[in-house]
Amino acid sequence: MGKAIVVQDLKKRYGDVQAVDGVSFEVESGEFFGILGPNGAGKTTTLEILEGLRQADSGSAEIFGLSPWPRNPRLLPRIGVQLQASAFFERLTAREQIRTFASLYGVSPAKADEMLEVVGLADKANTPAEKLSGGQAQRLSIAIALAHGPELVFLDEPTAALDPQARRNLWDLLREINAAGRTVVLTTHYMDEAESLCDRVAVMDHGKILKLGSPAVLVRGLDSPTHISVELGVISLAAAKELAGPGDEVAEDGISLTIATRKPAVILSELAERGALAGLQVRGATLEDVFLDLTGREYRA
Ligand SMILES: Nc1ncnc2c1ncn2[C@@H]1O[C@H](COP(=O)(O)OP(=O)(O)OP(=O)(O)O)[C@@H](O)[C@H]1O
Ligand SMILES: [Mg+2]
């Protein structure tokens, strides 16, 4: 299949801020690749360099074996770009916006209208872009990014402003696009999104990639305990502490009692034997745990 993207030791500085600080990764053709990271991690800057919108200070980037900078007219029809902040032509309706963009790529108005339908905006076709809600505008910019059938799509936080239905619908659309052989690169703050969509995820912070791998492998590598909760009162705190193995932790929060354990099978069978399974919940580590473990919990602007 070949490589869609090869990035080596990419760096970009804005004044005092080293926004991208030696990033290297590769994306295979047909892969669904995610970049996960807190605000200011350098995700957008990295994408902008790959999209040919920004020049790197050093390092190299190749898209389908070609350099994205300076802007390469041979590359443009092969990539689709949805920016974090979408910009539209003033006063044009949704339909006029997408038809205009599509015509730049030789895409028919009918195909453009079809994309509006796909993202659920057919009933907003006559609405000027500035009167669309945040989520609707976001869906329009995604439709525009996809209308010319690019081989590689960059989506910068595509679901940030979407309601739960629109978000799930977009996931389905992105899965379809990817299943049809297109490469997708997206950034997100949503762990469930990365976990459910991406073949591989790069966890990024302070301009560097901290970890890269499939969500399952990243989660497995974390060695974090399984949390087993039952309704408060079905087993006493003292009995739970007796059940718990060395290194396990037992906690109550007024609603449930939770044992954090590395031997969930033992605890579960003991609880079952005592008939103490009311309100049972079992939670393994998620990508969110990986993310917090790598990037810390402090709030950063
Ligand atoms: N045009 C710019 N001029 C100066 N500094 C910038 C510019 N764009 C980004 N930065 C800085 O570079 C760093 C990385 O920003 P970037 O937008 O790449 O992060 P991000 O991971 O996309 O964050 P977010 O999740 O908030 O979108 C931040 O510290 C930001 O303040
Ligand atoms: Mg960003």
Residue with the smallest CA separation from ligand 1 atom 25 is 39
Same domain, yes or no: 196 and 264: no
- Give the three-class secondary structure for 245: coil
Flag whether 290 is in a domain: no
Choose one of 194, 215, 236: the last residue of a domain. Answer: 215
CATH number of residue 148's parent domain: 3.40.50.300
Q: In terms of Cα–Cα distance, which of 38, 287, 34 is closest to 174?
A: 34
Contacts of 118 (CB under 8 A, 6+ apart): 143, 146, 173
Mean of the pLDDT values across residues 219-247? 90
Residue 141 half-sphere exposure, CB side, CA atoms within 13 Å? 25
pLDDT (tens digit per residue) in 259-271: 999 999 999 999 9
Flag whether 220 is in a domain: no
User: Is residue 239 within a helix (H) or strand (E), and if so which, with residue range?
Assistant: helix 237-243
> Domain total for the chain?
2
Give the pLDDT of residue 223: 77
Tokens of 104: 């730049």
Q: Is 45 in the pocket of ligand 1 (CB under 6 A)?
A: yes
Same domain, yes or no: 247 and 207: no
Same domain, yes or no: 144 and 276: no
Same domain, yes or no: 185 and 273: no
Choose one of 215, 238, 270: the last residue of a domain. Answer: 215
Q: Is the pLDDT of residue 59 over 70?
A: yes
Q: In whole angstroms, what is the distance from residue 228 CA to residue 244 CA?
A: 11
Flag whether 120 is in a domain: yes
Higher pLDDT residue, 236 or 85? 236
Same domain, yes or no: 206 and 160: yes
Ligand nearest to the CA of 206: 1
Same domain, yes or no: 61 and 112: yes
Ligand nearest to the CA of 42: 1
Same domain, yes or no: 93 and 152: yes
Give the pLDDT of residue 297: 63
pTM over 0.85: yes
Q: Which residues pair with 67 in a beta bridge?
A: none
Residue with the smallest CA separation from ligand 1 atom 24 is 39
* Chain centroid, CA 40 distance in Å: 15
299 confidence band (pLDDT: 50, 70, 90): low
Q: Report how far ligand 2's centroid is from the alpha carbon of 157 (Å).
A: 7
Same domain, yes or no: 61 and 208: yes
Choose one of 187, 215, 243: the last residue of a domain. Answer: 215
Flag whether 167 is in a domain: yes
pLDDT (tens digit per residue) in 286-296: 888 888 888 88
Same domain, yes or no: 166 and 270: no
* Residue numbers of the domain that contains 247: 226-284
